[in-house]
Homo-oligomer: A and B are copies of this chain.
Amino acid sequence: MSQPARTSEAGSVGVVETFHLDLPDPVRLDCGRELHPVRVAYETYGTLSPERDNVILVCHALSGDAHAAGVAKAPPESGTRDGFGAEERDGSSAKGLGWWDGMIGPGKAFDTDRYFVISTNLLGGCRGTTGPSSTDPATGRPYGSDFPVITVGDMVRTQRAFLDALGIERLAAVAGGSLGGMQALEWAISYPDQVDAVVAIASTHALHPQGVAWNAIAREAIMRDPAWQGGHYYGTGRAPDAGMGIGRMVGHITYLSAPALEEKFSRRLQFADDLRYTITEPEFEVESYLRHQADSFVKRFDANTYLYISRALTYFDLARQHGGGSLKRALEDVRARTLLIAFSSDWLYPPAASQDIDRALRSQGKPVEFEVIDAPYGHDCFLLEEARQTPIIRRFLARGGAG
């Protein structure tokens, strides 16, 4: 098992800046509440065509942000190359590279010579878009756990309002991996006349119950940390770092495959080949890795955002929300061409989930392509297997003719 090759011929989008836009109107939420004000952090790569018909919206995963490509103009606070777990492994965070830099740029999968790529931090986030750490206008203090419970539908509604404010009506494509793929699918259902193509990678129409359980455990770990303080920890000098660290550890193991862990760590000990007989200190390399991942994550991520986004992605269920229990009915209004990519070793968002979507679309005569890439890294493949995704995505987008 060797490291996947990165695309090296293609160029970079260079130095980029994150911008912010305040939405003019309140965002109506699925829970019945309205949210106002809402600020959206975003980056763009490439050039908007005069016809405004070459826009690709890129959606990020649980712990990502708007910085999807290029080198951050502002030095990264503590690492920005993120989507799930890949960033802390390959050290690129030190360079301030976007979390999908391998996929977005001149000649890359999302080709900025041709497309105008927009990436936003999602609603509920902690990297510039309004979320639980933002100021609640009703109190003048951070929302904390008074922030409304949000859904993937709310995230997409916010993106729609944001694009309206930019004067962009149609999307040549909306693309994302994992939770990002959920947003892409939601777009195709909620705004069928405004999306030409969907690219949903390592994603699903509804997380399976084991995935629901892993997310519940991560959230419990945060909420059981006394430093969470019922969700109102901002300004107290304490944060539920211990609990969120546990949640992140759980996440990391679910993002990798068992064979990948075997390949990477095996049962190697930290200190030569002798046990030190310790309960408190890491003894195996994989134990030390987990601690490092947890420690670096809590420095840059807000625990309440983790709670809210994790909740949203477990709620996500296209059949229940849009089809009265039927996935086929949920997808019946979709007009976009759809590309689904899954990875053979991904047990959190397994290929079977993408296959369900493929069948439901295909049975209604809708244009869909489904590719399973045989790769060993588990769910993290969507961040790592850029070289093998690139030709599939480029071919798919080229067939659309737009842009």
Contacts and interface: CB of A to CB of B under 8 A. Distances in A.
Contacts of A226: 226
A231 B280 CA distance: 10
B220 A290 contact: yes
A402 interface: no
A47 B383 CA distance: 62
A22 interface: no
A266 B213 CA distance: 11
Interface string A117-152: 000000000000000000000000000010011000
A259 B290 CA distance: 27
A236 interface: no
B216 A286 contact: yes
Contact of A320 (B273, B279, B290): B273
Interface residues of A, number: 59
Nearest to A325: B273
Interface string A216-248: 110111011110000100000000001101100
A38 interface: no
Q: Which of A262, A275, A307, A314 is the most central at the interface, judged by chain B CB atoms within 10 Å of its CB?
A: A275
Interface stretch (A77-85, A162-170, A181-189, A202-210): A202-210
Given A31-B277, A245-B220, A261 B213 contact: yes
A167 B125 CA distance: 66
A213 B290 contact: yes
A249 interface: yes
A284 to B, nearest CB: 5
Given A214-B253, A314-B284, A277 B149 contact: yes
Contacts of A282: 216
Count identical subunits in the complex: 2
A270 B253 CA distance: 27
Contact of A220 (B246, B284, B286): B246
A250 interface: yes
A25 interface: no
Contacts of A209: 258, 261-262, 264-267, 284, 286
A267 B217 CA distance: 16
A308 interface: yes
Given A246-B224, A277-B148, A317-B267, A261 B210 contact: yes
A370 interface: no
Contact of A258 (B208, B223, B286): B208
Q: Which of A267, A282, A291 is the most central at the interface, judged by chain B CB atoms within 10 Å of its CB?
A: A267
Contact of A212 (B30, B31, B286, B291): B286
A2 interface: no
A225 B208 CA distance: 29
Interface in A56-94: none
A17 interface: no
Contact of A217 (B148, B149, B253, B307): B253
A211 to B, nearest CB: 9
Contacts of A220: 245-246, 249, 290-291, 294
Contacts of A212: 267, 284, 286-287
Given A224-B242, A246-B220, A210 B267 contact: no
Nearest to A243: B224
Given A212-B284, A224-B243, A283-B314, 14 more contacts: A31-B277, A149-B279, A208-B261, A209-B258, A209-B262, A212-B267, A212-B287, A216-B284, A217-B253, A217-B290, A219-B279, A220-B246, A220-B249, A273-B320
Interface of A: 30-31, 145, 148-149, 206-210, 212-214, 216-217, 219-221, 223-226, 231, 242-243, 245-246, 249-250, 253, 258, 261-262, 264-267, 273, 275, 277-280, 282-284, 286-287, 290-291, 294, 307-308, 311, 314-315, 317, 320, 347
